[in-house]
Amino acid sequence: MQIAPPRACDIIVACCALFNISKDLNEPHLDPQNDQEVQHEADEMVVAAADVHGVALRADIIANFFT
């Protein structure tokens, strides 16, 4: 990927923030070779997308790091 350095910094900060949030929420580490666990994670992501808390948290991250 070829992106401008300031944009790369934004991406790195977002990844770090998401990683820390996943640690705070005790999200399981996935093994990509285990299809059942990956499918379970996909199902959880659908449920989490509807979660009001998740929506508010994403909005907060966007407001703090991308505006």
**What amino acid is encoded at 41 in this protein?**
E
The answer to whether 31 and 37 have CB atoms below 8 angstroms apart is: yes
| Res. 3: pLDDT tops 60 | yes
Residues 20 and 64 sit within 8 Å (Cβ to Cβ): no
In this prediction, residue 14 carries a pLDDT of 92
Specify the pTM: 0.42
13-26: pLDDT as tens digits: 999 999 888 888 88
User: Rounded to an integer, what distance in angstroms lies between the CA atom of residue 20 and that of residue 23?
Assistant: 5
47 within 8 A of 55, measured Cβ to Cβ: no
Q: What is the pLDDT of residues 30-43, one digit of tens each?
A: 665 655 555 566 66
The pLDDT of residue 27: 80
Greater confidence (54 vs 38) lies with 54
